[in-house]
A and B are shown apart, each in its own frame.
Chain A
Amino acid sequence: MIYSRLLLATSLAAVATLAACNREERELRPSPSASQVVNQAQVSGLNPGANPLPTPPTPSIYEESAYAVSEGKTLFGQYNCSGCHANGGGGIGPPLMDNNWIYGSQPQNIFTTIVEGRPNGMPSFRNRIPEYQVWELVAYVRSLSGLLPKDVAPSRNDQLYVKPPEASMPKQTPTGITGEPSK
């Protein structure tokens, strides 16, 4: 009697283990499209192998729209970027009007910086700032050091700033991990 119960229990346990055999689907060789790098932002200046790959074209149409850049300027105030970056001059956060880019000067670098945040204080604004507004901010931040054409950068200030408007800022040659693409 005891023997038959033991047999029953053992066979039930054996049946139960069968369910574990097919516990995951393994995609042994992902399709080529899935293995593409989605995020184009390059954060390190080291490139294994040989020379750096050509920088992908800017994904942002906002770099060419004076309206978008002026919107970015307004948003820069509304989201209190000046709280740390002080109208681009720097304070708690690094200055934005000089040529030194710790995490890259490309639009996608700056986008990543705003959305994901950076170590030592830059908060992540993921979900807090709608995506199109981030791109407007990116374009404005680049105009602060003269990286946008003069006809796109804001040519006057809305408030009584001592600082000249962005269109009058001297163009800086970015240094840091990634340079501007050569044109």
Chain B
Amino acid sequence: MIAASSPMRAAAVLASFFQGEHNSLHPAGPFSSNIEWLYWVIFWIVFVAFVLTILAFARASAKTYSRAEEMLPIMKDEEGDRKAKWAVGTAITVTVLTLFAVLFMSVITGKKVEGMTSSNPVTIQITGHQWWWEVIYPNPQADQTVITANEIHIPVGKPVVILTSSADVIHSFWAPSVHGKRDLIPGYSSAFWIQVDQPGTYPGRCAEFCGLQHAHMGFSIIAEDEATFEAWEQQQLKPAPDPTDAEAQHGREVFLTHTCVMCHTIRGTDAGSRVGPDLTHLASRNMIAAETLPNTTGALAGWIVDPQRIKPGNKMTPNPLAPDDLNALVTYLRTLQ
């Protein structure tokens, strides 16, 4: 990260507030639109209250200043007392009523966000791990189940059910442009709807502190049209292709005889462990290590050799492979489209 002075950083944060893609004020679907509407309602109520308060303060201070020279007489002012009672009573009533109105609108928004139904939605099971996201498209038929990690493909304009769970500690699933935060709680599964109407890539983060690499636990929601989504799903269902050239074949041998095979799955090979992310279609993803590095040959090699340097404390061990083995392994992994 580039070190920036705090005013610069504040300016950057302010700028991202108005334009960035990681932004709940740029809703991409009906749920986040509801949440944005509620945000602006509360914002304007609070803004009006703020302006009135400041005006009242200004008026009071101006009045007091003009009489500051005089001695304050001790006197009874029954008329003034009655006025004050009315003023305080009105203020309290208005405040309570406004808070009730805001509460009412929050509940309405909550109902709108929850109250979605569809007879045939896309269902996605999201499992939080320290520190990555397992993404499963469940199907009664095991060989029709897509398993991937960190990149959630969904069709545009179609309701999607997200089922949540966690493998270790509490995580929180938050894609600001798509939906509010939803906690992923170990041993407790819940469900919510999302829908995205604009094609594009929407970043998300873990929003509940979950350990050392909480800050590097990103995901993205990739919304694409129905046909592209179907094609992606069909591609993901395929087992990994057998490597054709000698180097990739050697790479597969390295994968199957070294540390990798103890934690990762590549469907179509003997590797079947579910501790780490499924790598069957690794090369089809844009990013690796939960949105930490771009999925390039160099980044992949660096990650394999010393993941502890890139994400200290993560669950992957350093792998001091011989240069030829490492090159072959990366070549093989890059073939996993």
Contacts and interface: CB of A to CB of B under 8 A. Distances in A.
> A and B from one assembly?
yes
Interface residues of B, number: 12
B320 interface: yes
Contacts of A75: 317
Interface in A91-110: none
A52 interface: no
A67 interface: no
B257 A130 contact: no
Interface in A36-83: 75, 78-80
B317 A133 contact: yes
B315 interface: yes
Contacts of B262: 79, 128
Interface string B313-337: 0011111100000000000000000
A21 to B, nearest CB: 39
A4 interface: no
Nearest to A127: B257
Contacts of A86: none
Nearest to B258: A127
Nearest to A75: B317
Interface in B31-53: none
Interface in B285-337: 315-320
Interface of B is mostly: loop
Contacts of B257: 127
B259 interface: yes
Contacts of B318: 130, 133
A78 B315 contact: yes
B320 A129 contact: no
Contacts of A128: 258-259, 261-262
B83 to A, nearest CB: 60
A78 B316 CA distance: 7
B316 A130 contact: no
Interface of B: 257-259, 261-262, 275, 315-320
6 contacts: A78-B316, A78-B317, A127-B257, A128-B259, A129-B259, A133-B317
Given A79-B262, A79-B317, A128-B259, 9 more contacts: A78-B315, A78-B316, A127-B257, A127-B258, A128-B258, A129-B317, A130-B319, A132-B320, A133-B317
Closest 5 CB pairs of A and B: A78-B317, A130-B320, A127-B257, A128-B259, A78-B315
